[in-house]
A and B are shown apart, each in its own frame.
Chain A
Amino acid sequence: MPGQACVHCGADCGKHPVIWEDKPFCCHGCKTVYQILHEKDMGEYYKIQPMSGIRIQTESQSNKFAFLDNEELKKQILDFTDGNISKVKFFVPSIHCASCIWLLEHLDTLNPAISYSAVNFPKKEVYITFRNDQISLRQIAELLAAIHYIPEITLDQLEKKGSNKAGRNLLVKIGIAAFSFMNIMMYSFPEYLPGGDLLEQDFKDVFGWLSFILILPVVFYSASDYFLTAFKGLKHKIISIDIPITLGIMALFFESSYAVFSGNGIGYMDSLAGLVFFLLIGKWYQGKTYEALSFERDYKSYFPVAITRLNGDREEIIPIKNLHKGDRILVRNQELVPADARLIKGKGNIDYAFVTGESIPVPKQKDDFIYAGGRQVGSSIELEVVNEVEQSYLTQLWNQKDARQTSNSLDNHINNISQYFTIAVLVIAFSAFAFWSFHDLNTAIYVFTSVLIIACPCALALTIPFTFGNTMRVFGRKGFYLKQTEVIEQLHKTTTLVFDKTGTLTLSRKMAVAFEGIKLSAEMLDKVKSMVRHSSHPLSASLYEHLKAEPIYEATHYEEIPGMGLTGLIEGERFNLGSRQFVLGIPEQSDSKESRVYLSISGKQCGYFSIKNVYREGLDIVINDLKLHYDLHLLSGDNEAEKAHLQAVFGSEAILKFNQSPTDKKAYVESLKKSGKNVLMIGDGLNDAGALAVSNTGISIADDVFSFSPACDAILESSKFAQLNQFIRFTKTSFSIVRLSFFISFLYNIVGLSFAVMAVLSPLFAAILMPVSSVSVVVFATISTRWMAGKKLK
Chain B
Amino acid sequence: MLFRIFLNKLYFIQLKDHFTIFAVVVVNKNYITEMSAIIILIILGIVVAGGFLVAFIWAVRSGQYDDDYSPSVRMLFENKKHKEDTSPSTENLNPKQ
Residues on A lying within 8 angstroms of B by beta carbon are 44, 48, 98, 101-102, 105-106, 108-109, 112, 115, 118-123, 163-164, 167-168, 171-172, 175-176, 179, 182-183, 186-187, 200, 202-203, 206, 210
Flag if A168 contacts B61 (CB, 8 Å). Answer: yes
Q: Which residues of A contact B44 (CB under 8 A)?
A: none
Complex Cα distance, B86 from A744, in Å, reads 63
Is B46 an interface residue, CB under 8 A from the partner? yes
Flag if B42 contacts A121 (CB, 8 Å). Answer: no
Looking at the assembled complex, report how far the CB atom of A291 sits from the nearest CB atom of chain B, in whole angstroms: 9
Is B63 an interface residue, CB under 8 A from the partner? yes
Complex Cα distance, B23 from A416, in Å, reads 56
Flag if B69 contacts A109 (CB, 8 Å). Answer: no
Flag if B77 contacts A102 (CB, 8 Å). Answer: yes
Most buried by A among B39, B60, B86: B60
Q: Which residues of A contact B45 (CB under 8 A)?
A: 183, 186
Q: Contacts A109-B82, A179-B50, A203-B38 given; indicate if A120 touches B70 (C-beta within 8 A).
A: yes
Count of CB-CB pairs between chains A and B under 8 Å: 75
Flag if A175 contacts B60 (CB, 8 Å). Answer: yes
CB-contacts of B30-61 with A (<8 A): 35, 38-39, 42, 45-46, 49-50, 52-53, 56-57, 60-61
Complex Cα distance, B50 from A206, in Å, reads 18
Is B7 an interface residue, CB under 8 A from the partner? no
Looking at the assembled complex, report how far the CB atom of A479 sits from the nearest CB atom of chain B, in whole angstroms: 19
Q: Which residues of B contact A115 (CB under 8 A)?
A: 86, 88
Complex Cα distance, B35 from A121, in Å, reads 52
Flag if B65 contacts A44 (CB, 8 Å). Answer: no
Residue of B nearest to A202 (CB): B35
24 contacts across the A-B interface (CB closer than 8 A): A44-B77, A48-B73, A102-B73, A108-B86, A109-B82, A120-B70, A121-B69, A122-B66, A122-B67, A122-B68, A122-B69, A123-B66, A163-B66, A164-B66, A167-B66, A168-B61, A168-B63, A172-B57, A175-B56, A179-B50, A183-B45, A186-B45, A203-B38, A210-B46
Flag if A175 contacts B53 (CB, 8 Å). Answer: yes
Is B74 an interface residue, CB under 8 A from the partner? yes
Flag if B53 contacts A168 (CB, 8 Å). Answer: no
Complex Cα distance, B53 from A48, in Å, reads 36
Flag if B65 contacts A101 (CB, 8 Å). Answer: no
Looking at the assembled complex, report how far the CB atom of B87 sits from the nearest CB atom of chain A, in whole angstroms: 8
Complex Cα distance, B50 from A163, in Å, reads 27
Flag if A179 contacts B53 (CB, 8 Å). Answer: yes
Q: Which residues of A contact B56 (CB under 8 A)?
A: 175
Flag if B74 contacts A210 (CB, 8 Å). Answer: no
The answer, among B42, B49, B60, B88, for a CB contact under 8 Å with A172, is: B60
CB-contacts of B3-36 with A (<8 A): 35
Q: Kindly list 15 other residue pairs between chains A and B, CB separation below 8 angstroms, not including A121-B69, A183-B49, A186-B45.
A: A98-B73, A101-B74, A102-B73, A105-B77, A109-B80, A109-B82, A119-B70, A121-B70, A122-B66, A123-B67, A163-B66, A172-B61, A182-B49, A206-B42, A210-B42
What string of 1s and 0s marks CB contacts (under 8 Å) between B69-93 and chain A? 1100110111010110010100000
Complex Cα distance, B66 from A168, in Å, reads 8
Residue of B nearest to A200 (CB): B35
Residue of A nearest to B53 (CB): A179
Q: Which residues of B contact A122 (CB under 8 A)?
A: 66-69
Complex Cα distance, B65 from A80, in Å, reads 23
Residue of A nearest to B87 (CB): A115
Residue of A nearest to B68 (CB): A122
Flag if B70 contacts A101 (CB, 8 Å). Answer: yes
Looking at the assembled complex, report how far the CB atom of B16 sits from the nearest CB atom of chain A, in whole angstroms: 9
Looking at the assembled complex, report how far the CB atom of A105 sits from the nearest CB atom of chain B, in whole angstroms: 7
Q: Which residues of B contact A109 (CB under 8 A)?
A: 80, 82
Flag if B67 contacts A121 (CB, 8 Å). Answer: yes
Complex Cα distance, B35 from A206, in Å, reads 10
Flag if A112 contacts B73 (CB, 8 Å). Answer: no
Q: Which residues of B contact A171 (CB under 8 A)?
A: 60, 65
Looking at the assembled complex, report how far the CB atom of A407 sits from the nearest CB atom of chain B, in whole angstroms: 32
Complex Cα distance, B67 from A120, in Å, reads 6
Looking at the assembled complex, report how far the CB atom of B17 sits from the nearest CB atom of chain A, in whole angstroms: 12
Looking at the assembled complex, report how far the CB atom of B72 sits from the nearest CB atom of chain A, in whole angstroms: 9
Complex Cα distance, B42 from A175, in Å, reads 20
Complex Cα distance, B80 from A384, in Å, reads 54
Q: Which residues of B contact A101 (CB under 8 A)?
A: 70, 73-74
Complex Cα distance, B3 from A646, in Å, reads 87
Interface pairs A-B: 9 shortest CB-CB: A121-B69, A98-B73, A121-B70, A179-B53, A120-B67, A171-B60, A175-B56, A101-B70, A168-B60
Complex Cα distance, B59 from A172, in Å, reads 10
Flag if A179 contacts B49 (CB, 8 Å). Answer: yes
Residue of A nearest to B70 (CB): A121
Q: Which residues of B contact A164 (CB under 8 A)?
A: 66
Complex Cα distance, B73 from A115, in Å, reads 21
Complex Cα distance, B80 from A109, in Å, reads 10
Complex Cα distance, B86 from A136, in Å, reads 19
Looking at the assembled complex, report how far the CB atom of A477 sits from the nearest CB atom of chain B, in whole angstroms: 15
Residue of A nearest to B43 (CB): A210
Q: Contacts A122-B69, A123-B67 given; indicate if A44 touches B60 (C-beta within 8 A).
A: no
Q: Which residues of A contact B86 (CB under 8 A)?
A: 108, 112, 115
Q: Which residues of A contact B38 (CB under 8 A)?
A: 203
Residue of B nearest to A105 (CB): B74
Q: Which residues of B contact A120 (CB under 8 A)?
A: 66-67, 70
Flag if A168 contacts B49 (CB, 8 Å). Answer: no
Residue of B nearest to A214 (CB): B46
